[in-house]
Chain A
């Protein structure tokens, strides 16, 4: 059994699923109004379903939910390991830059790359890393990812 509950107190950009695995149960709690949240904990989505949902976007190559200490949730693939490493790197980079310029906590990052784009979304204890093909429009992809993860 797994369920999700909504917690929208973190602002619009902190779109992430917070999940923990307890025996055979996966508890998935949305943060900042992510639509994976189901009502009253009766229905919800696994972390892998977040990946599936994002992978429905043709340009998305990989999506990974990870804890802030770098552990990938529900994904042990090599691609996840690589994406996880870059996601952590990007989070540290942004965190340091933000503290130096006094703009507070990092909420999200969009990297417009030549071959691949990267997206990072932060929550209290987890982060979501997404890689996408560089051929896609980065702003449209960002909007599409947010739309898919937003509450319905």
Chain B
């Protein structure tokens, strides 16, 4: 899914792109790290709650183009979900529409193939529990291993050899409330940063980690 979103993001002036499923759950996104999970989930909630309200009047929404003082938001409903694209005000909308038309089929196919967030989220823990995958396994060989290891290595620069143990505890804590998918990594960053304590160093950690997340 991310691949298709990245394809849309290649249109000059596109800042970020996300897709949610018909349950109103964020499936995937390619937004810069400045847009955290909460922000994107709130936007998804707004779109998914309000979009049906326009159906009676329009007979079904094919696309919405919101123009703001500092940008543009394009909403493109697809079968099984909806795409939300954030762009610069100067974007060539026609270029974006062409890219969208190309990507929509693939996005719809991906949504149909049950790669949705909750299903994916549900699948990961069951796989984990089924195969007795521990937080350590997730760090070592899980689908997010490269990100997690990067975060752990970065933490070591701030906390020394204790970083490995602390990071493991953070991952355990993160897994209690979140699914181990890329979209929830910002929450893990929050948990880890809180362990550092010092606001300046916390901010430094966040900045370093954001470069590879």
Contact = CB atoms under 8 A, between A and B. Distances in A.
B46 A97 contact: yes
A106 B58 contact: no
Interface in A87-136: 89-90, 93-94, 96-98, 100-118, 131, 134
Contacts of B66: 94, 97-98, 106, 108-109
A86 interface: yes
Given A114-B60, A115-B59, 14 more contacts: A86-B54, A93-B46, A93-B53, A97-B73, A100-B46, A101-B71, A102-B39, A103-B68, A104-B68, A106-B68, A107-B69, A112-B61, A112-B65, A114-B62
Interface in B69-95: 69-73, 86, 93-94
Contacts of B94: 139
A108 B93 CA distance: 14
B43 interface: yes
Nearest to A108: B67
A13 interface: yes
A104 B66 CA distance: 11
Main secondary structure of the interface of B (DSSP, over half): mixed
A11 interface: yes
**Interface residue range, chain A:** 20 to 34
Interface residues of B, number: 29
B62 A109 contact: no
Interface of A: 11, 13, 82, 86, 89-90, 93-94, 96-98, 100-118, 131, 134, 138-139
B68 A107 contact: yes
